[in-house]
Structures are given as C-alpha cells and as structure tokens.
C-alpha cells in the first residue's frame, strides 16, 4: 500500500465520491441522479484513483456513454480524479434498484414510478406475470388509479405513456424491469 494513503483516507475519498455522484443527473430522466437510479454499483479506491462500477439500465441504452463522461467529469471537477468507469452488466439492472428517494422524485417530476419487478428472492415469474392483469398505475399528478395506457412506449424505451381518466393529464410510467 502507498505510504501516503490510509484506509481512513480511502474511506473519506469514497464517501466524497458517492456525494458527488449523487449530483450527476441521468440525461434521459434529469429528475434522478445516477445514484437515485441505482446504476452506480460500487465506488472502489485504487492505487491510481477511483474505479466507479456502473450497471447500465439495459445493454443498448443510448445514454450510457453520456453517463460515463458525466461521472468522470464530476469526479474530476471535485478533485477526485483520476477515475475510471467499469461497466458491469451482470446482474442485470432492475427498476427495483431505484431508491425510494428516486421514486419520490419521479412522482414529483410527473412520471409514475415502477412497481416491484421481482418477487422476494429476485425471481421474476414471467408466465405468472403474463396471466395476471397489470396492477393499476397511479397518476403522479392526482394519485388516482383510474388511468389508461395509451402506448407501450413513451419518450424512451423504459417508459410507457398513460392518461389519467380523472384529472385528464397525460403522464409517463417508468416500466418495471
């Protein structure tokens, strides 16, 4: 171990990095930070700087490169560089990783947050899900469950378009994945 580094210094640097990453906004849903979204999996101290482990929301997400650059720029601006990003695709990201604070921010932004994507233990019962009627999606504007889906796809592939039948406002729903 480098004589200039200590476990306490590494711990403080990692904690500072998490604080900084909490300010890096998702480019597709700027109401959420990359931490709220749950894509920052780990911040690891390395001899040469920090390693940030990200799990993209899906393998073809067009925002992944922008997020990587934003993370590195924010850490550099905070004096925490050099840093490098490692993409970890397994286990696959799930909307269950969105924090409670992130779900609250989605509602305030006008997007209905996702419900649970997995059963306890992480299993997703595909056959069971296909047989059951989807749970109602509550309107983020008025809270009514009297809503209808207008389109399976919203402004991004991870959202669908809904309308509230009570307040008549359209809104997007972040799909459980």
Cβ atoms of 153 and 159 within 8 Å: the answer is: yes
d(CA 70, CA 65): 9
The tens digit of pLDDT for each residue in 1-53 reads 444 678 898 999 999 999 999 999 999 999 999 999 999 999 999 988 999 99
**Count of CB atoms situated within 10 Å of the CB of 67:** 24
Same domain flag for 118 and 81: no
More confident residue, 91 or 134: 91
For all residues of the chain together, what is the average pLDDT?
Answer: 89
Q: Indicate if 81 and 17 belong to the same structural domain.
A: yes
- Specify the number of domains making up the chain: 2
- What would the pLDDT profile of 63-96 be if each residue is shown by its tens digit? 999 999 999 999 999 999 899 999 999 999 999 9
What number is the average pLDDT over the span 111-122?
Answer: 76
In a domain, 96, yes or no: no
Same structural domain for residues 26 and 78? yes
Q: Which of 36, 55, 87 is the last residue of a domain?
A: 87
Together in a domain, 21 and 74: yes
Nearest to 58 by CA among 37, 76, 44, 84: 37
Range of the domain at 78: 7-87
- pTM, two decimals, is 0.83
**11 and 77 share one domain:** yes
Assigned domain for 72 exists: yes
Cα gap 99→113, rounded to integer Å = 11
């Amino acid at each position: 171990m480098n004589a200039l580094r200590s476990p306490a210094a590494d711990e403080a640097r990692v904690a500072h990095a998490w604080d900084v990453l909490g300010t890096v906004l998702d480019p597709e849903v700027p109401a959420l930070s990359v931490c709220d979204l749950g894509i920052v999996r780990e911040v690891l101290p390395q001899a040469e700087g920090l390693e940030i482990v990200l799990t993209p929301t899906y393998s073809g997400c067009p925002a992944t490169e922008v997020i990587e650059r934003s993370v590195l720029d924010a850490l550099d601006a905070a004096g925490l560089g050099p840093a490098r990003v490692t993409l970890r695709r397994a286990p696959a990201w799930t909307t269950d990783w969105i924090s409670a604070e992130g779900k609250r921010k989605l509602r305030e932004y006008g997007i209905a947050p996702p419900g649970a994507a997995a059963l306890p233990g992480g299993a997703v019962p595909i056959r069971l899900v296909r047989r059951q009627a989807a749970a109602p999606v509550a309107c983020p504007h008025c809270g009514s469950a009297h809503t209808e889906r207008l389109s399976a796809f919203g402004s991004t592939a991870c959202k669908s378009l809904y309308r509230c039948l009570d307040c008549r406002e359209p809104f997007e729903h972040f799909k459980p994945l």
